[in-house]
Amino acid sequence: MVVKLNNIHKKIGTKHILNGISFTVNKGDIVAVVGPNGAGKTSLFKAIGGLIEPDEGTVLINGVAQSNQVNSDVLFLPDSSMLYTELTGYEHLEFIAKIHKTSNQIIEAVINQIGIKKYVNEKIRNYSLGMKQHLLLAIALIARPSLIIFDEPLNGLDPSSIKMFRRIIKELKADGSTIIFSSHILAEVDKVADRIIFIDAGRTVQEVNVSDSKIERAYIFELESPSNDIFSLFKNKEFNIDKFQLQENRLLVRLEREQLTPFLGVLLENNIILNEITNVKGETDNIYHELYGEKNE
């Protein structure tokens, strides 16, 4: 499903919450929308999901204006406030399954996959934030529409649940879904998104293709007995040793993705034993702080 936004404007009173946003999301893309609090992310998602109509501009879903259609193939999961407190988790899943003509067997399979069997028959009023987020993931898996919009789906999730989210997002992509989501956990944005759209004050301020091999990433290499002259091994090569820092046995390096293999080759050629590699900081984090400084994430 292709999503195309063209010069979207929306005012609430005198406040311009969307101020000329334009971008395209191609079929099968996982796109993250990143920005500080109040940047317009939720309003943008509501416009894409057809919940608010732009004052100016168009939102096209497969070439059709979103404001002119009820599209059951678009699922917007704003946050856990969409859940009905007096219904059980299972009743939510049953309702979604009926809309999308999904069998009870699929419901049970999803319940087991997400790990919500212990509490799926409890009313939502008894759920923690993490439990609600798990239920929203289950709803997405049962619906499997062409377009899924998640607003801050990682809030309230522990590390193992975040890994599960990553796996499910990639499963949905493989199944043909297009996914748009927001998150303040920038390391996860790096891991799961194909493209990142940075917005502020209702405007698009930058777009990044995560697969771009020229994007620098920071790595920590834990080495066996390194010496201070390790930097000399990389002189007169394609590396910028000004971006190298050695702390005891830990070498912190900033590399473009395509430089990683040659870098490892230099270590191997010089019989330097590598114990561990950690990708510590993605480009998303760097761009965020360049664009927004100390604004709330």
Boundaries of domain holding 224: 216-281
The residue assigned the tokens 């499997």 is 144
Residues 189 and 251 occupy one common structural domain: no
Tokens of 43: 């309003």
Starting at the edge strand found earlier in the chain, the sheet holding 216-223 runs 244-247, 250-256, 216-223, 274-281
- Identify whether the C-beta of residue 127 lies closer than 8 Å to the C-beta of residue 84: no
What's residue 151's pLDDT? Answer: 94
Residues 201 and 252 occupy one common structural domain: no
Bridge partner list, 125: none
Q: Residue 243 belongs to a domain with what CATH number?
A: 3.30.70
Give the strand pairing for 74-77 and 147-150.
Answer: parallel
What's residue 228's pLDDT? Answer: 64
Q: Is residue 293 part of a domain?
A: no
Percent of the chain scored above 90 by pLDDT? 54
Helix residue ranges per DSSP H, the chain: 41-49, 89-99, 104-114, 129-143, 159-174, 186-192, 260-269, 283-292
State the average pLDDT over residues 130-134: 95
Residues 142 and 86 occupy one common structural domain: yes
- Identify whether the C-beta of residue 133 lies closer than 8 Å to the C-beta of residue 162: no
Q: Provide the CB-side half-sphere exposure for 160 (13 A, CA).
A: 2
What's residue 229's pLDDT? Answer: 73
Instruction: Round the average pLDDT of the chain to a whole number and report it.
Output: 86
State the average pLDDT over residues 176-200: 91
Confidence of residue 280 (pLDDT cuts 50, 70, 90): low
What's residue 25's pLDDT? Answer: 96
State the average pLDDT over residues 263-291: 75
The length of the chain, given as a count of residues? 297
State the average pLDDT over residues 101-125: 96
Residues 82 and 179 occupy one common structural domain: yes
Residue 213 clears pLDDT 50, i.e. is over it = no
Last residue of a domain, one of 209, 236, 251: 209
Residue 206 clears pLDDT 70, i.e. is over it = yes
Residues 123 and 33 occupy one common structural domain: yes
Q: Is residue 292 part of a domain?
A: no
Terminal-to-terminal C-alpha distance of the chain: 29
Q: Is residue 287 part of a domain?
A: no
Q: d(Cα 151, Cα 182) in Å, to the nearest integer?
A: 5
- Identify whether the C-beta of residue 198 lies closer than 8 Å to the C-beta of residue 35: yes
Residues 276 and 235 occupy one common structural domain: yes
- Give helix 104-114 / helix 89-99 axis angle, nearest 10°: 130
Q: Is residue 36 part of a domain?
A: yes
What's residue 32's pLDDT? Answer: 96
One-character DSSP codes across 36-58: -TTSSHHHHHHHHHTSS--SEEE
How many domains are there within the chain? 2
The residue assigned the tokens 């377009």 is 147
The residue assigned the tokens 């917005």 is 199
Residues 100 and 33 occupy one common structural domain: yes
Tokens of 197: 């759209």
Tokens of 160: 């193992």
State the average pLDDT over residues 23-31: 95
pLDDT digits (tens, 9 = 90+) for 36-81: 989 999 999 999 998 899 999 999 998 888 765 556 789 999 878 8
Q: d(Cα 18, Cα 14) in Å, to the nearest integer?
A: 12
